[in-house]
């Protein structure tokens, strides 16, 4: 049984950022995903890397709040106002 070929880990983790960026060819993607499916270790690394990238990657222009978020916020604010002014 060599369902886990450890030499692949280094190799695949090396192209992880390219994979996350979507710069990897479909064949490599498939290979990587197949490996990830059977390798907890690499999956953890992928998740951690993804989260780190999400945190580090600041958008070039600060987008306005998405509409639904803003709407929800307004509703929330309205609601809060209602909640503070008690009917009594």
- Interacting residues with Zn ion (CB under 5 A): 9, 39, 42
CB of 77 vs Zn ion, minimal distance in Å: 47
CB of 41 vs Zn ion, minimal distance in Å: 5
3 versus 88: smaller Cβ distance to Zn ion: 3
CB of 26 vs Zn ion, minimal distance in Å: 20
CB of 68 vs Zn ion, minimal distance in Å: 38
2 versus 85: smaller Cβ distance to Zn ion: 2
CA distance 33 to 50: 15
24 versus 39: smaller Cβ distance to Zn ion: 39
| Token reading at 30 | 């498939």
34 versus 72: smaller Cβ distance to Zn ion: 34
DSSP states along the chain: --S--HHHHHHHHHTHHHHHTT-S-HHHHHHHHHHHHH-HHHHHHHHHHHHHHHHH---SS-PPPPHHHHHHHHHHHHHHHHHHS---
């Amino acid at each position: 049984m060599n369902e886990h070929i450890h030499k692949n880990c280094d190799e695949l983790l090396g192209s992880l950022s390219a994979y996350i960026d979507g710069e990897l060819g479909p064949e490599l993607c498939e290979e990587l995903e197949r490996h990830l499916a059977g390798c907890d270790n690499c999956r953890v690394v992928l998740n951690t890397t993804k989260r780190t990238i999400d945190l580090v990657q600041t958008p070039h222009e600060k987008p306005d709040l998405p509409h639904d978020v803003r709407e929800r916020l307004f509703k929330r604010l309205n609601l809060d106002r209602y909640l503070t002014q008690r009917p009594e």
